[in-house]
Amino acid sequence: MKEKISVTIDRSVLDRIIEFVEEGRFRNKSHVVEYSLNKLIKENAKL
């Protein structure tokens, strides 16, 4: 089950997220954030 959250980020980060979506690399902004967090979690699990 997915949960809705709210975050505050720098405008420059949001601009990059929007670019990723517009380029078709991700379905939407949530997909970018979820993908990035999962990658960070997996990388840190190896430590």
pLDDT for 27: 98
| DSSP H or E segment with residue 44 | helix 29-45
Domains of the chain, by residue range, sit at: 11-45
> Can you spell out the DSSP letters for 2-40?
---------HHHHHHHHHHHHTTSSSSHHHHHHHHHHHH
Q: What is the pLDDT of residues 1-47, one digit of tens each?
A: 999 999 999 999 999 999 999 999 999 999 999 999 999 999 999 77
DSSP state of 42: H
pLDDT for 46: 78
pLDDT for 21: 98
